[in-house]
Structure 1
Amino acid sequence: MHIVVCGALVENGAVLLVHRSPTRRAYPDLWDLPGGHVDAGESELQALAREMHEELGVHIVAESSSRLGDLYAGSGEDAVHVSVWHISDWVGTPTNTAPQEHDDIAWVAISELGGLALVFGALPALLTFPEPPRSALSTGR
């Protein structure tokens, strides 16, 4: 089973999504949360921090991260366990620093997620929570 983490960066009622390139082998041309595989010897939170930096160029504030739930796909050798994390605080401005994986990123209102082609249709149900305010320190404002 493949263990994957993904992070929901949430601000002003919107979540940052990445659009998977149409040339990707797995789940091409769909919107998803940024994230990736947990490497050997790595905790989920360590993998989450690494993936957010690799894919978006941001440094998450680990203490602001909380697990929202788990999603499962596939079976046998292709089985995937995805842990979904809410990240309420980070440093830096998210940019697409992995253009070989994603051809776009976008802030999408949580209320509009149901209208998108998503990797996991259950994602909107996981993102129904009150949003804590981001700290002024992390936004640079």
Structure 2
Amino acid sequence: MKLNHDLVRSLLLSIESSDNPHGFSPREVNEFIENNDFSKNDIGYTVNKLKEARFVTGEATISGDDYYIINPGNLTYDGHEFLDNIRDDGVWKDTKEIASKFSSVSASFLSKIAVGVISEIIKKQIGF
């Protein structure tokens, strides 16, 4: 499967917005599935990749060809740091535009692009 960077961002933003101290609740997962155009398998796959990247504490369980338990948990410090770099809609749009020029882009590379975009915005704001 291919990692969908828009799903990564959307999922991280949703997990962060949860008030549940134990992490994204099953109800919140179901609402996320119902309110977004991503398949349950794409979401489960993404949660497991975010776990591998140490961005979330949870995981998704697969049985046969389908994910049947999706429990993303909470964001880790690394997850918060990554999300802070890509949170702003304008920064995300510019980051995706730059990243689209490359055939493969990792999450760490996306974060570096976003930092560069933010740096340019800061330079313009302070007149450099």
TM-score calculated relative to the size of structure 2: 0.27
Greater relative contact order structure (CA < 8 Å, 6+ sep): 1
Q: Which has the higher helix share?
A: 2
* Structure exhibiting the larger radius of gyration computed from Cα positions: 2
